[in-house]
């Protein structure tokens, strides 16, 4: 793929994305159908069974409180770098560079994990319909090629592709939710999921953990600020909308599955899925919507995975673009394509990085689900919670330090960020204390994987050198 047209350097990305377009990008990254098919059985089977919907609501509440400080600080961070930019303004360049490394690790990890998952899922689908057995990396590389083309071009094209995929994905799940509630299981339309005696039974912490992993990518609204129509209004609206929509979608759908299967049976059904003796999403869909409905959901699960990996590709390319513009990565990554107005060279580098990592994992014979998706999702979860925690601390420090100059309401500048810090500390403890459940590996392997984001933070922190710093706006 040629990069000849990318001679212009030092330009900002441009675009006309509104709140809806950015929300499409963000919700697609959260991969709603993928979460329902994967995270939901884990939250129910290993966590608190019928009480799992509350885990998703609690996770959404924590992230909504986090978003208050995040969007309040947006006008004072006039660069599209998300966590890196916010932490740099609040805690300084040294910590900002460390967080930039953590962000790259987290986003790359989840993207590689999804490539493994989609390679396995496509092969499983082909076999289900009588096709040949083809190694998962072949499908992963085919998907990667399509993502490379879309990521190289203007962001509006990716937004349109993601919009169509997401509309179909959410549409079929809404239909499924309505049918499940209209045809309840033996307990009828039960609200037991929201009974404290139910959602506090079992291990609600595990339900919250897997709910949090389902929100990865929601904060990337700030990454697209240069391509937003009106960043000061678009980014806050998109951030709040993304958290609320994702949280409501997850909680409602998980509850609908509880209603369809029954509060007393749903935990056992989820556990059978984890044991490989069934598929909670597809089997229930087959019961409710028939064979055709099951086939449609199966196909949309694949489009959900594709939308997810495309969205993360765009996020990583823009992170690299911003870091290069700050002198923290090679300057060529900060070039803008003259015709597509995209970070084209950064996109190409991101494609090559993913290609190399997938090739290495394939040559090592790593299982695409447990080995690739499970372990990479674990690394990403630790990284993302660490990023949000550090960002909340940066927001709090910034508004305390600059209170006389920038002002602001007590709730949005002090109280909400402080609550977010406490909630995210608790979330990080939940993730680390249950990390083997996320990765599916041994304690030793899980410890090594969990340490990767922290090692990245230290490396970035120690490798700091003075550069053109971010400054708050006046």
Q: Is 279 exposed, middle or buried (0-12, 13-18, 19+ CB in 10 A)?
A: middle
CATH hierarchy code of domain 19-463: 1.20.1740.10
Q: Rounded to whole angstroms, how far apart are CA atoms 57 and 60?
A: 5
Q: Rounded to whole angstroms, how far apart are CA atoms 209 and 247?
A: 14
Q: Rounded to whole angstroms, how far apart are CA atoms 446 and 431?
A: 11
Task: Copy the structure tokens of residue 239.
Answer: 């951030």
Q: Which residue has the tokens 């990305």?
A: 13
Q: Rounded to whole angstroms, how far apart are CA atoms 74 and 237?
A: 12
Tell me the β-bridge partners of 9: 335
Q: Which of 142, 449, 151 is nearest to 319 (CA)?
A: 151
Q: Which residue has the tokens 């993502």?
A: 147
Q: Rounded to whole angstroms, how far apart are CA atoms 5 and 335?
A: 10
Q: Which of 238, 195, 200, 254 is nearest to 56 (CA)?
A: 254
Q: Which of 437, 58, 56, 41 is nearest to 266 (CA)?
A: 41
Which one-letter DSSP state was computed for residue 215? T
Q: Rounded to whole angstroms, how far apart are CA atoms 429 and 378?
A: 13
Q: What is the pTM of this model?
A: 0.81
pLDDT by residue, tens only, the chain of 474 residues: 333 333 334 455 555 566 676 776 667 666 778 888 878 988 898 888 899 999 999 999 999 999 899 888 888 886 655 788 889 999 998 898 899 889 889 989 989 988 998 998 898 888 878 889 899 999 999 999 998 888 766 555 556 666 676 778 888 889 999 999 999 998 899 999 999 988 887 778 888 888 888 887 776 666 666 666 666 677 777 888 888 888 998 999 999 999 999 999 999 998 887 776 778 898 899 999 999 999 999 888 888 888 788 878 887 887 788 777 777 777 777 677 566 566 777 888 889 999 999 999 999 888 887 678 878 888 888 998 999 999 999 999 999 998 878 777 889 999 999 999 999 999 899 888 888 876 767 788 889 999 999 999 999 888 766 655 444 443
- Per-domain boundaries in the chain: 19-463
Would you state the pLDDT for residue 112?
93
Would you state the pLDDT for residue 439?
72
């Amino acid at each position: 793929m040629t990069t000849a047209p990318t001679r212009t350097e030092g330009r900002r990305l441009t675009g006309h994305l509104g709140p809806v377009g950015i929300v499409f990008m963000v919700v697609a990254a959260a991969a709603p159908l993928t979460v329902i098919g994967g995270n939901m059985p884990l939250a129910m089977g290993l966590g608190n069974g019928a009480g799992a919907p509350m885990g998703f609501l609690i996770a959404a509440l924590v992230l909504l409180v986090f978003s208050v400080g995040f969007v309040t600080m947006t006008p004072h961070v006039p660069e599209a770098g998300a966590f890196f930019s916010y932490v740099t303004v609040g805690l300084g360049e040294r910590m900002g560079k460390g967080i930039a490394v953590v962000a790259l690790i987290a986003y790359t990890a989840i993207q590689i994990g999804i490539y493994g998952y989609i390679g396995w899922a496509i092969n499983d689908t082909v076999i289900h319909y009588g096709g040949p057995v083809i190694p998962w990396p072949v499908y992963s590389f085919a998907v990667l090629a399509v993502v490379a083309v879309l990521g190289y071009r203007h962001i509006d094209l990716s937004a349109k592709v993601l919009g169509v995929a997401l509309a179909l994905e959410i549409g079929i799940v809404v239909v499924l939710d309505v049918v499940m509630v209209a045809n309840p299981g033996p307990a009828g339309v039960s609200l037991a999921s929201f009974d404290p005696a139910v959602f506090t039974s079992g291990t609600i912490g595990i339900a919250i953990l897997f709910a949090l992993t389902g929100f990865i990518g929601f904060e990337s609204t700030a990454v697209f600020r240069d391509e937003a129509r009106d960043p000061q209004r678009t980014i806050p609206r998109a951030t709040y909308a993304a958290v609320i929509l994702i949280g409501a979608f997850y909680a409602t759908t998980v509850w609908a599955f509880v209603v369809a299967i029954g509060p007393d049976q749903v935990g056992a059904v989820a556990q059978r899925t984890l044991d490989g003796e069934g598929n909670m999403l597809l089997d229930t869909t087959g019961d409710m919507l028939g064979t055709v409905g099951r086939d449609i959901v199966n196909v949309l699960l694949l489009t959900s995975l594709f939308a997810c990996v495309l969205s993360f590709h765009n996020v990583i390319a823009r992170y690299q673009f911003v870091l290069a513009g700050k002198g923290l990565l090679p300057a060529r990554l900060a070039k803008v394509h003259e015709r597509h107005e995209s970070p084209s060279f950064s996109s190409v580098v991101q494609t090559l990085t993913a290609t190399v990592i997938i090739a290495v994992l394939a040559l090592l014979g790593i299982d695409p689900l447990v080995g690739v998706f499970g372990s990479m999702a674990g690394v990403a979860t630790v990284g993302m919670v660490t990023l949000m925690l550090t960002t909340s601390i940066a927001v709090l420090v910034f508004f305390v330090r600059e209170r006389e100059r920038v002002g602001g309401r007590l709730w949005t500048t002090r109280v909400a960020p402080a609550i977010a810090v406490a909630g995210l500390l608790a979330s990080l403890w939940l993730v680390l204390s249950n990390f083997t459940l996320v990765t599916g590996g041994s304690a030793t392997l899980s410890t090594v994987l969990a340490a990767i984001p922290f090692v990245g933070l230290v490396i970035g922190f120690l490798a700091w050198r003075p550069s053109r710093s971010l400054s708050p706006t006046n």
